[in-house]
Structure 1
Amino acid sequence: MTGIEDRLRDALAAGAGIVRDDGRTRALPLPRPRSRAARWWAPSAVAAAIAVVMAITFVLTRSVAPPAPAVRPTPSVSPFASPVEQVWPNAVHEIPGTVPGGQAFVPQLFASSRVVVGHGIDRKRLDSVWSYDIGSRRFTNIVPPNGFTGLSLAFGDGYLAWWAVGNRKAEIWVVPVTGGVPRRLASVDGRMSSYHEAVGAGGLAIADDAVVWSPGDGGVYRLPLKGGKPTLMSGTRGLYLVEWPWAGSPRDARLNGPPIPRPMERLKNVLTGEIRDATAPAGRTSWDECGVTWCLRGMEAWRRDGTDFRVLPGHGRSRSNLYAGRYVLLRQHDRSGKLATAVHDLATGSTGLLFRKPEHRGHKSTSTLETKNGMIQYQTGRGTHYLVNLVR
């Protein structure tokens, strides 16, 4: 059809739509003999009708409002996630902030799903080690006051281990988690660096009845719990312990100089020799952190092989961290602009709200937020600790 025919059809259809149908049958008018004048008038009437239809079409077209210009969609403001105790009810615990005798208690790790191990603090100095049973709500003293002079704890195979400094060397100490007299396992050479603070417990772990660690200049060393001489594990020179039995390079020295754009690009299983190289997804060339399974860049994440790219439901810092290999802390805000802190699980896509930021100046806020050894810890004004067992 031509353009005129299309408009004529649409106008007639519109006119038919306003005619009321009462359902009565009417006779067709009889044909009238066509005079000479009629024969002259017919073509003129058709032309006039077309002109009228075009005029009606023009008026109708002008009377309809033009389509609104396209509006670029704005990112929706995510509401707060559900409270973390609703998302992971078996992983959230509230425990006392002081041990018997009044010392402040600083949780360090979960020795099991129900036992928390941490330090007792006297005059802002770590001087003892305690465990707390969540089920029985009882503390047990592992290392008595003035018997602990180390740093962050590591746990495995029923033992606790930590670094200490003595005779200008790094010392490794161990004690059974059930309690006892701490024992110096070894005094080792090799400088300790800021990298140890980034990975926790000084790059120290306990596995297969031995203590394993990486010194500041790299390599994975092993020392049996029963004692002996530290040995460098084969094929680990220049690697740094990430998560037993995985070690990698280059290390992320973010606390000592500018950050490395592709930390832990290559991982090696020090027991089997398996290699896992990291691959960035299309359009990305770097990352903040790359663990055994997940890589993280700001509020973007993907699997180590470059697949399963996603944008996280919130806002983060310029550089983000992985916790327990798969969790990330983020900030959220609701439609009114109120802020909150949440934890997101990359493996499941679940997000749990930890706490909201106070709305008024001077309001008692959360005093601390710490992440260590697969655990998130934060306090409230009531002096109790809230723990989220990420491993659980």
Structure 2
Amino acid sequence: MNDVENTVRETLARAAGRAPRLSAAAAEQLERGYRRRRQRSQALLAAVAAAAVAGGGVLGVRIGDEQGPSPSVNPLSVPSAMITKAVDMPKPIGKVWPQALHKLPQKDGEGRKLNAAVLIDDHMVLLIASRGFERNEAIYTYDLAGKKLRKIADLPTSKGSETFPADFRVGDGQIVWWTASKEFRRIWTVPLTGGEVRQVVEEKVGGNTRGFDLAGGKVAFSAMEGGVFTVPLTGGAVTPVEGGAGLHLLTWPWAGSPADPGASAPYTHLVNLETGESSSALVKEGEQLYACGVRSCTGTTKDGKAFTRQRDGSQQKEIPVGYQIPEPPSQSRFHFRNMFDRPGIGLYDVDTGTFADLGIREEVASRGEVPRADRTGRFMSYHIKSGHYLIDLTKIP
């Protein structure tokens, strides 16, 4: 049994002891703690998730982005309060929110799969070309209006690297990412306009990075064991950020705890490393939180109803249960959920109750081709037979 299978088995075992839902904190580790194996873990868990897509499962498990198994194959019990009646048959997303949908190229000229990484602005997206098991090999930009693909650079890999180029960020005219080996963490950059790839820093500290962002001319990141650090984009010394000890970076300037699986949801406690402001998510008696972001949290009430609300407890909204994820909604509004009238996944707007068919069917989900939400919550992207699609959530009124 390999590491990923062990992780899945242990995660489900922990979840069974906390029925009726799988801990989002445990699921979070599948992506953040095992970045190098993300695609493989997606495919492994998505094979289970296909049953939920087909059968209207109500449990949420995070697989890289989001996915969930059905009661028929999950050891968790499902209370009747969690099951709701079918919703109206959703229309295709291209008819519901045409202004938000973009079709992207699926492969580059060398046959490598392209994945959306950063929506740079309203007209430009950063695409990463990969081959095989998340072997990120090149960077491109794609002009959404002009439909033009432009190669920026090939991605170097260092000898002994255990983590391929990951966590791409764009700012100050630069594209930034990191790699890691058993002995070194390396941060890289290249001009957005193209040019030579340059190593910003090489630290003799092995292992993955837990949190990575840009912070006004600097790169900010967290070590797996905790602590937040910065290094100038131009290169120089790595410096601990005051107030960041023991914390993990969520998105600059917010860092928090906990970040590892446990009794509490990830990032229930946050600290603004620029201002010192802190935020602890409200938890009412009998509730359980599953995930928290900078603005909102997701959880269940003492009677098992799923909700999303602001960290201070305001603006609480019930999430219709069906296929759903233990994750703060993107833009504080959008959740994936299954469609009861046909096997597949749709996008649900908590604010308006609007539901759109993404065109994702059971056979697609079983291969791990589930939607990917970017770290900022601005967009989602996914591959299906008809193409590679990006949804700009900021364009949905």
- Normalised by the shorter chain, which TM-score bucket? 0.5 to 0.7
Q: 1:81 to 1:306 in 2, by over 3 A?
A: farther
**Are the equivalent residues in 2 in contact too, given 1:82–1:353 (CA < 8 A)?**
yes
1:79 corresponds, among 88, 97, 102, to 88
Q: Whose RCO is larger (CA < 8 A, sep 6+)?
A: 2
1:184 counterpart residue number:
199
1:297 counterpart residue number:
299
Matched residue SS, 1:288: strand
In structure 2, what residue type is equivalent to 1:139?
L
- The 5 Å alignment of 1:36-47 reads none
Matched residue SS, 1:93: strand
Is 1:379 aligned to 2:383, yes or no?
yes
Q: 1:186 to 1:80 in 2, by over 3 A?
A: farther
Q: 1:276 to 1:135 in 2, by over 3 A?
A: same
**Are the equivalent residues in 2 in contact too, given 1:357–1:365 (CA < 8 A)?**
no
- Aligned pair count reads 300
**Are the equivalent residues in 2 in contact too, given 1:331–1:341 (CA < 8 A)?**
yes
1:156 corresponds, among 168, 171, 188, to 171
Shift of 1:263: 2.5
Is 1:311 aligned to 2:321, yes or no?
no
**Are the equivalent residues in 2 in contact too, given 1:213–1:221 (CA < 8 A)?**
yes
In structure 1, what residue type is equivalent to 2:109?
P
1:96 counterpart residue number:
105
In structure 1, what residue type is equivalent to 2:389?
Y
- The 5 Å alignment of 1:1-392 reads 75-122=84-131, 125-144=135-154, 150-165=165-180, 168-190=183-205, 192-193=207-208, 202-251=210-259, 253-254=260-261, 259-281=262-284, 283-284=286-287, 286-297=288-299, 299-316=306-323, 320-322=326-328, 324=330, 326-334=332-340, 337-345=341-349, 348-349=351-352, 351-356=354-359, 358=361, 368-373=369-374, 374=377, 375-382=379-386, 384-390=387-393
2:75 counterpart residue number:
none
Matched residue SS, 1:90: helix
Deviations 1:142-186 (A, max 9, x none): 113767952231222221111113572110001111111111101
**Are the equivalent residues in 2 in contact too, given 1:115–1:132 (CA < 8 A)?**
yes
Aligned partners of 1:340 and 1:167: how far apart in 2?
Answer: 40
Q: 1:354 to 1:186 in 2, by over 3 A?
A: farther
Shift of 1:219: 1.7
**Are the equivalent residues in 2 in contact too, given 1:249–1:266 (CA < 8 A)?**
yes
Q: 1:88 to 1:128 in 2, by over 3 A?
A: same
Gaps of 5+ in 1: 1-73, 197-201
**Are the equivalent residues in 2 in contact too, given 1:108–1:118 (CA < 8 A)?**
yes
In structure 1, what residue type is equivalent to 2:115?
V
In structure 1, what residue type is equivalent to 2:237?
K
In structure 2, what residue type is equivalent to 1:277?
S
Aligned partners of 2:330 and 2:393: how far apart in 1?
Answer: 7
Q: 1:356 to 1:366 in 2, by over 3 A?
A: farther
Q: What RMSD over aligned residues (CA atoms) do the two structures have, in Å?
A: 3.1
Shift of 1:344: 3.6
In structure 2, what residue type is equivalent to 1:280?
V
Matched residue SS, 2:99: coil
- Calculate the TM-score normalised by the size of structure 2: 0.66
Shift of 1:325: 5.8
Shift of 1:391: 5.2
Shift of 1:312: 1.0
In structure 2, what residue type is equivalent to 1:331?
R
2:80 counterpart residue number:
none
**Are the equivalent residues in 2 in contact too, given 1:121–1:127 (CA < 8 A)?**
yes
Q: 1:91 to 1:355 in 2, by over 3 A?
A: closer
Gaps of 5+ in 2: 1-82, 159-163, 301-305
Q: 1:208 to 1:145 in 2, by over 3 A?
A: closer
Shift of 1:287: 0.9
**Are the equivalent residues in 1 in contact too, given 2:113–2:130 (CA < 8 A)?**
yes
Q: Percent identity among equivalent residues?
A: 25
Deviations 1:52-78 (A, max 9, x none): xxxxxxxxxxxxxxxxxxxxxx95432
Q: 1:161 to 1:351 in 2, by over 3 A?
A: farther
**Are the equivalent residues in 1 in contact too, given 2:84–2:321 (CA < 8 A)?**
no
Q: 1:105 to 1:333 in 2, by over 3 A?
A: closer
Shift of 1:291: 1.1
Aligned partners of 1:364 and 1:295: how far apart in 2?
Answer: 26
